[in-house]
Amino acid sequence: MPGPDSYRDLREGVRKLCARFPESYWRELDEREEYPEAFVRAMTEAGYLAALIPPEYGGAGLGVAEASVILEEVHRSGGNAAACHAQMYVMGAILRHGTPEQKQRYLPPIARGELRLQAFAVTEPEAGSDTPSIRTTAVRRGDRYVISGQKVWISRVQHSDLMLLLARTTPADQTRRRGEGLSLFLVDLRANLGKTVHVRPIRTMINHHTAEVFLEDLEVPLEDRIGEEGQGFRCILDGMNVERILIAAECVGDGDYFVDRAVAYAKERRVFGRPIGQNQGVQFPLAQAYARVRAADLMRFRAAELYDAGLPCGPEANMAKLLAAEASWEAANAALQTFGGYGFAREYPIERKFRETRLYQVAPVSTNLVLAYLAHNVLGLPRSY
């Protein structure tokens, strides 16, 4: 397990970049519901979003542990990496399952930030958490697939050049196993947006650019299918562990952000002639939240260590995400309570992050589904679905 200072240089570097994007930056974007273009550009130009791409394709070739530290620091600074974190890991599907030609064609421009691949279209309105029951269908016609269907909650699709798409290529009743018959496609949004791909933005309680996506006879050339036909679900599963670990790190960053801010406020704010932080009723929730964040942090590094060593890490990655999302929410709640009325004020730091960190118990996977995974796959309990 890495020591506390193993990532000192990396943390210091990310902090310096984030210092250029203070909380006022994020607050103003939030008010206007704007995409943090300048921040994303800075992260791209500094090479952070290419952390996981191997050097032979122009990236830094770092492990998930380092990538997670980068995102953690963004969140700890008060920022929100959701606007760009997917550029880090969606390319993993190409890296692990693409052909040599696909890797050569796509990874270098993604590493340089010339191509944004940060939209990942899985969720559908009818299927919800039950991914294998998606209905978007891809039909092979000669040297291409023709795809029709509907996706929902597809984040950053309006800020992406390419989109990874999961669609059914074999009807469910003709496959041997659930989860088979799905295939993965790389969709060129630049060529198809407004023609065969239509986007309708969804406004949410946070500044998160997400949308409904409608596909009408979208044509995707054969050479843009990633992995084998029918094996798409398997191709996205290994990427999900990376996503879980990175999201866990963002939650750890949020958790530390809340504890930092709340502790500083509790020391400063005086009521009844003493700092509110002198009351155990204020101290204990913060101490509790801090302990939970640290525990989740350990699970994050445990999962990352296994992943980076090429070992199975499904249970750890899922537990890291579960524990970290709960810890950040607990810390958010404790911070809000510590700030009292000011916790609700837009010009104070807490309320925006409070809204933002709540997401992680729902997306990219909801808490119940993580618990079901642990119950079925680790504890061996009967499947509930």
Partner 1 sequence: MDVVVCVKQVPDTEQPIRVRADGSGIDEQGLNWILNYYDEHAVEEALRVRERHGGTVTVVCVGPPRATEALRTALAMGADEAVHVWDPALEGADHLGVSRVLAEVVRRMPHDLVLCGRLATDDNASVVGAALAEYLGLAQATAIAKLEIGDGVATVEREVEGGVEVLRVPLPAVFTVERTINEPRYPTLPGIMKAKRKEIRTLSLQDLGLDPAQVGAAAARVRYARFDPPPRREAGRVVTPESPEEGARLIAQFLQDTAKVL
Ligand X SMILES: Cc1cc2nc3c(=O)[nH]c(=O)nc-3n(C[C@H](O)[C@H](O)[C@H](O)COP(=O)(O)OP(=O)(O)OC[C@H]3O[C@@H](n4cnc5c(N)ncnc54)[C@H](O)[C@@H]3O)c2cc1C
What are 49-53's contacts with CB under 8 Å, separation 24+?
49/84, 49/87, 49/88, 49/113, 50/88, 50/110, 50/111, 50/112, 50/113, 51/88, 52/88, 52/89, 52/91, 52/92, 52/95, 52/242, 53/91, 53/95, 53/107, 53/110, 53/111
Single out the segment in contact with partner 1 by CB under 8 A; choices: 7-15, 21-29, 144-152, 158-166. Answer: 7-15
- Give me the least distance between CB of 78 and partner 1, in Å please: 15
From the list partner 1, ligand X, none, partner contacted by residue 384 (C-beta under 5 to 8 A by kind): ligand X
Q: Which is nearer to ligand X, 208 or 353 (CB)?
A: 208
Q: Which of residues 62-91 bind partner 1 (CB under 8 A)?
A: 62, 70
* By the rule CB under 6 A, 116 interacts with ligand X: no
- Give me the least distance between CB of 288 and ligand X, in Å please: 25
From the list ligand X, partner 1, none, partner contacted by residue 123 (C-beta under 5 to 8 A by kind): ligand X
Other beta carbons less than 10 A from residue 137's beta carbon: 16
- Give me the least distance between CB of 63 and partner 1, in Å please: 12
Q: Which is nearer to ligand X, 62 or 88 (CB)?
A: 88
Q: Which of residues 11-40 bind partner 1 (CB under 8 A)?
A: 12-13, 16-17, 19-20
Binding mask 346-365 toward ligand X (x if CB under 6 A, else -) reads -------------x--xxxx
- List 29, 40, 50, 252, residue binding partner 1 (CB under 8 A): 50
How far apart CA 246 and CA 254 sit, in angstroms, is: 12
What is the three-class DSSP state of 125?
A: coil
From the list partner 1, ligand X, none, partner contacted by residue 207 (C-beta under 5 to 8 A by kind): none
- List 150, 204, 283, 288, residue binding ligand X (CB under 6 A): 204
List helix spans (H) across the chain. Answer: 8-19, 23-32, 37-45, 64-76, 85-89, 92-97, 100-112, 189-192, 232-268, 280-308, 314-339, 350-358, 367-373
- Give me the least distance between CB of 88 and partner 1, in Å please: 11
How far apart CA 181 and CA 125 sit, in angstroms, is: 19
- Give me the least distance between CB of 273 and partner 1, in Å please: 11
* By the rule CB under 6 A, 197 interacts with ligand X: no
Q: Are 28 and 87 in contact (CB under 8 A)?
A: no
* By the rule CB under 8 A, 10 interacts with partner 1: yes
Q: What are phi and psi of 2, to 5 degrees?
A: -70, 150
Q: Which is nearer to partner 1, 17 or 249 (CB)?
A: 17
For every residue of 170-202, DSSP letters joined together read S-GGGSSSTT-SEEEEEEEHHHHBTTTEEEEEE
Which residues are near ligand X by CB under 6 A? 120-123, 128-129, 153-155, 204, 208, 210, 359, 362-366, 368-369, 372, 384-385
